[in-house]
Amino acid sequence: MSAVSKPLLIEIGTEELPTNSVSVLGKALLEGVCDGLKIRNLSFGKAHWYASPRRLAALIHDVEQVAPEKMTEILGPPVAAARDQNGKWSKAAIGFAKKHGSSPENLTEKDTEKGLRLAFCSTIQGVSIEDSLTNIITESIDALPIEKKMRWGAKRISFARPVHWAVVMYGSTVFHEPILGVTPGNITFGHPVHSPDPILLSNPEEYEELLEAARVIADFEKRKNSIHIQIQAAAKDMNATAVVDEELLCEVTGLCEWPVALSGSFSSEFLSLPGEALILAMKTHQKYFHLLNSEGELLPHFITICNIESKNPEEVIRGNERVIHPRLSDAAFFFDSDMNSSLESKTSSLNQIIFQQRLGTLLHKVNRIDRNARRIAKILGASESEASQSALLCKSDLASQMVLEFPDMQGIAGRHNALNDGVSSSVALAIEQHYWPIYAGSKLPETEIGVCVAIADRIDTLVGIFGAGMHPTGSKDPFALRRASLSILRILIEKAYFLDLRELVDFAIEGFSDDLLDSGTSTAVLKYIIDRLPTYYDENNISVEIFRSVSALGIYCPFDIDLRVKAVAHFSTLPISESLAVANKRVTNILSKVDESDSLIEINEDLFSTEFEVRLAADLKLVKEACLDLILKKDYGAALEQLSMLDGPLADFFENVMVNSEDSTLRANRISLLKSVHEQFLKVADISQLAGK
Amino acid sequence: MTPLSFQELIQNLQAFWANKGCVILQPLDMEVGAGTFHPATFLRAIGPESWSAAYVQPSRRPTDGRYGKNPNRLQHYYQFQVVIKPSPDNFKSLYLDSLKSIGIDTSIHDIRFVEDNWESPTLGAWGLGWEVWVNGMEVSQFTYFQQAGGLECFPVTGEITYGLERIAMYLQGVDSVYDLSWTKNANRKISYGDVFMQNEIEMSVYNFEEANTSQIFEYFDFLEEEAARLVSRHLPLPAYEMVMKASHAFNLLDARHAISVTERQRFILRVRTLAKIVAQEYYDSRAKLGFPLAEPELLKSNFDEGSEK
């Protein structure tokens, strides 16, 4: 039987899907269908996903019509035991055959490693696409990551948005088994304005082409690319550079089927506003791309992507210009009225904004940030007065009209207001930068004062929210404590600050009035922050075992942890690391079985009965001395190099010395020696964690 | 083609939706924040009964008042509301046709459906849908109700809310709402400002400066008790009126900054609690009547599966 294979097309036609889920769902649908084919052993060729606001589709080439037959072979009893003395089938043989619905005569003999065995062989028919396609589709639809499902009309079905049609075709064969409440066919629909008539497909392979003729670019990436090219062309016409934000580009790609870039203008008088505000107004409210001149200055133009080849594009441009004008007027109004009062005068309004019920208002919070920031500045040797001034002003712009209207302007609005008030630029920058990093992976505060306030604010949030009993659980993290923790770690590690979190956390806790916070807050917060590190290191390709070898020491200075982790990471690539790790593991194991009282004695050199003990003790002494300075300088790499010298002596010791001597004094002395070795390693890292990686 | 006057815009929409079988209602004679509060939307969204209606609803948002000085913001404005239950398959294309009927040519203008999920914390209601953009301007809200008063909606009510002033400003090409032509007769033009400017100024003064907060606080407490009492008397419609009044009282207190941020949540919760018991009582009262407007097959399925989830 020769294998037949044909192209498969599945399309779900909907009302406009949520913008950001268009590509996600398109990819997931294809993935689901491919998975469904794979588990049924149906082979297929190239697979392609399509997604627009009104459709999700999967086109898979060369899908096998029937999966190949599968031969199975089940081994039974040995041939030697298949017959009794009389040459009749034995009970074992009959039982085995019966179990598989066969009789002994139909069994075959197989030569195996364990000798000749009876075997039951059968062929299983492969599933056909005809029989399994509906299930494959249903399973992949059920597995779609739809954030919020809805119902419509009088149907019990739910999906991301109402479903209007579906196409299911295998070659020219059309499937009609209902999915999502509609009967599939071979009819799809193009652009509702440009091509309202149904489109008959005779073959899945026509899909992309026929839709394009009906003014729909179904391929998400192709549409995105087309938008990008159109934006650049439009910018070129204006002698400008368009700033194409990837996120915005994806968003507008999810908002249209037939993108057409149009450019418009706004009054240049608005250019006196902070550029960030203009960009935000264009981007978040209107989804416009903004333009820069050759000096990198913002131009009073924008590019919008519409979903139509308008009969009168001027009308569309005029319409858009009329929308952006009042938006910018609003922004200008807010900005001007914000500048009429100082940032400091806005601070008092913070007592109107609750930070968290138990923890009081933002004004309370700001005062605590101030206290923390001054402390951090003192440790870092930065200006305490500037840290204090920045801290006291850092949240004041939350009471500004600008931030009320554009929440993303927080920090930026504060910087402008501060500069307008004549505050020093380092304070103004710190006000803005204390929110950094804004996203995972985005840039860190650049100024030292900015670092002080950034850490001070986040430590306060962590301590307060944990103390108020609102530990983040699973996906619920309303105060973004996960991000706050990671931000603290990134700042301290990547900017190389030796700040001890335990000290900071305990200091921050004292800033709350007595009995306000739950007991145990310090431990919980420290554990939570440190527990973010494995993810951080995982992203930097450092294994969890390496991290554990350092976290086992109970250090709370992230930069110190990092120096050790990097040293261990390097060490773990060296050939010696393996044997040293194993030796350490052995030491740990022995020590874990020992009572405290066993090892209380000092090492007594007179009790050494072998040269191996003597040598280990002598080398340990040398290593100890050499490490003292290295550890003080935090040169953990060199310290590990020193410790590596104990590899040979340790191996010899284990090879030749019985720790568990019958003489209890000898035993105690040997344990003390090992304990001393162990303690020396722990001054750098617990290398035993690397064993058996 | 001369653009429609404000009143012609309303007339066209009414005629359009009357033609599609909607009951044309008059505005609710009470202060509400949006057309959704009208019993013809909120209560009719509950239970298995079919329902199609369209109406203008004056909407009051005391905090949005600007003493007549902002060309776009009003504390009293108009919404045109359409509800159809169950939402028909061609609901979106009916809507696009309605835009054509008021002079928005869909082959010229860029019309977009941008995800916007609606939630009313005070009504315990939510739905999924879009804001509709015409050339980048939001002109309508389009929602499929999923829950009202805490009750699952089945069948689903489709709701369209047109922002009448915005659409009219767009059609007439004016930049201030007060310059809208309300109507033209032989000798003169009557503008939106002629009709409402004084009202905006005086009501802004009232909302922000004069409203007697201590009396309104007491009134709110009274309305809360009254709504609960009326529910216990199995009078869901009068009880619902108390809920709407309580909601407006809350909005007034909010405009006077008489409610702190924390208190705010608590007040919203109080209104929602009322909305929920009223919704349940309304459902029960319709059930007692045998859901007279329900299609037979929906009636059956409602009794079979109505309490799903």
Which CATH number belongs to the domain containing residue B157 in this structure?
A: 3.30.930.10
How close B175 gets to chain A, by Cα (Å)?
8
pLDDT at A563 over 70: yes
Q: Is the Cβ–Cβ distance between A47 and A91 less than 8 Å?
A: no
The tens digit of pLDDT for each residue in B17-27 reads 999 999 999 99
pLDDT at A684 over 70: yes
* Cis amide prior to B155 (ω within 30 degrees): yes
| Rounded CA separation A239/A252 (Å) | 23
Band the pLDDT of A190: cuts 50, 70, 90. Answer: very high
How close A567 gets to chain B, by Cα (Å)?
50
Those residues whose C-beta lies under 8 Å from the C-beta of residue A639, and which sit 6 or more positions away, are A567, A627, A630, A631, A683, A684
Q: A319–B109: do the CB atoms touch at under 8 Å?
A: yes
Query: Measuring CA to CA, which residue among A562, A547, A545 is closest to residue A499?
Result: A562
pLDDT at B299: 81
Q: Which residues of B touch A161 (CB under 8 A)?
A: 128
Percent of chain A scoring above 90 in pLDDT:
76
CB of B163 within 8 Å of any CB in chain A?
no
The tens digit of pLDDT for each residue in B153-173 reads 999 999 999 999 999 999 999
Query: Measuring CA to CA, which residue among B174, B72, A249, A286 is closest to residue A301?
Result: A286
Same domain as B276, residue B245: yes
Same domain as B132, residue B225: no
Structure-token pair, residue B97 = 């046709």
Predicted complex ipTM: 0.93
In this complex, which of B93, B114, B146 lies closest to A150 when CB atoms are compared?
B146
CB of B154 within 8 Å of any CB in chain A?
yes
Same domain as B259, residue B194: no
Q: What is the mean pLDDT of chain B?
A: 92
pLDDT at A285: 87
Task: Give mean pLDDT, residues A390-415.
Answer: 92
| Rounded CA separation A504/A519 (Å) | 17
* Nearest residue of A to residue B258, measured between CA atoms: A352
Same domain as B161, residue B39: yes
pLDDT at B60 over 70: yes
Q: Which residues of B touch A316 (CB under 8 A)?
A: 108-110, 135
Of B153, B175, B207, the one marking the end of a domain is B207
Of B160, B187, B207, the one marking the end of a domain is B207
Same domain as B216, residue B172: no
- Taken in order B216, B220, B225, B226, the sign of the CA dihedral is positive
C-alpha dist (Å) from residue A319 to A256, A333, B111? 18, 22, 11
pLDDT at A1: 46
Q: Give the CA dihedral B42, B43, B47, B51, nearest 10 degrees.
A: -80
In this complex, which of A150, A256, A319 lies closest to B137 when CB atoms are compared?
A319
pLDDT at A235 over 50: yes
pLDDT, greater one: B303 or B214: B214
Q: What is the mean pLDDT of chain A?
A: 93
Say how many C-beta atoms besides its own lie within 10 A of residue B208's C-beta.
18
pLDDT at B308 over 50: no
Domains and their CATH numbers in chain A: 5-67+128-213 (3.30.70.260), 70-124 (no CATH), 220-339 (no CATH), 345-531 (1.10.3210), 574-690 (1.10.730)
Candidates A191, A267, A323: best to mutate against B (most CBs of B within 10 A) is A323
Collapse the DSSP code of B294 into the 3-class scheme (helix H, G, I; strand E, B; otherwise coil) and give the result: coil
Phi-psi label, residue B21: left if phi above 0, alpha if psi -120 to 50, beta otherwise: left
In this complex, which of A193, A323, A353 lies closest to B107 when CB atoms are compared?
A193
The tens digit of pLDDT for each residue in A251-294 reads 999 999 999 999 999 999 999 999 999 999 899 889 999 999 99
* Nearest residue of A to residue B49, measured between CA atoms: A154
Percent of chain A scoring above 70 in pLDDT:
99
How many domains does one find in chain B? 2
Residue B20 forms part of a structural domain = yes
Q: A255–B88: do the CB atoms touch at under 8 Å?
A: no
pLDDT at A599 over 60: no
Same domain as B153, residue B179: yes
Same domain as B285, residue B233: yes
In this complex, which of B108, B135, B261 lies closest to A320 when CB atoms are compared?
B135
| Rounded CA separation B118/B132 (Å) | 13
pLDDT at B307: 43
The tens digit of pLDDT for each residue in A509-522 reads 999 988 899 999 99
Band the pLDDT of A596: cuts 50, 70, 90. Answer: low
Q: Which residues of A touch B112 (CB under 8 A)?
A: 16, 255-256, 306-307
Same domain as B267, residue B151: no
DSSP state of B209: I
Same domain as B158, residue B25: yes
Same domain as B289, residue B175: no
pLDDT, greater one: A617 or A356: A617
pLDDT at B309: 35
Q: B112–A256: do the CB atoms touch at under 8 Å?
A: yes
Collapse the DSSP code of B194 into the 3-class scheme (helix H, G, I; strand E, B; otherwise coil) and give the result: helix
pLDDT at B99: 97
pLDDT at A597: 62
| H-assigned helices in A143-219 | 207-213
Which residues on neighbouring strands pair with residue B57, listed in sequence order? B79
The tens digit of pLDDT for each residue in A114-127 reads 788 888 888 888 89
Q: Which residues of B131-153 are buried (b: 16+ CB within 10 A; e: fewer)?
A: bbbbbbbbbbbbbbbbbbbbbbb
The tens digit of pLDDT for each residue in A442-483 reads 999 999 999 999 999 999 999 999 999 988 887 778 888 999
Task: Give mean pLDDT, residues A577-600.
Answer: 82
Residue B1 forms part of a structural domain = no
Band the pLDDT of A639: cuts 50, 70, 90. Answer: very high
Q: A156–B128: do the CB atoms touch at under 8 Å?
A: no
Those residues whose C-beta lies under 8 Å from the C-beta of residue A44, and which sit 6 or more positions away, are A5, A8, A34, A37, A60, A61, A62, A63, A64
Residue B177 forms part of a structural domain = yes
Band the pLDDT of A659: cuts 50, 70, 90. Answer: confident
Which residues on neighbouring strands pair with residue B131, listed in sequence order? B114, B141
Same domain as B232, residue B156: no
pLDDT at B69 over 80: yes
| Rounded CA separation A650/A617 (Å) | 10
pLDDT at B254 over 80: yes
Band the pLDDT of B272: cuts 50, 70, 90. Answer: very high
pLDDT, greater one: A149 or B299: A149
CB of B227 within 8 Å of any CB in chain A?
no
pLDDT at B306 over 50: no
Structure-token pair, residue B195 = 């009709």
pLDDT at A389 over 50: yes
Domain span at B232? 212-305
Query: Measuring CA to CA, which residue among A154, A587, A407, A123 is closest to residue B156?
Result: A154
pLDDT at B70 over 50: yes
Of B207, B235, B253, the one marking the end of a domain is B207
Task: Give mean pLDDT, residues B199-227.
Answer: 94
CATH code (residue B265): 1.20.58.180
Same domain as B120, residue B253: no
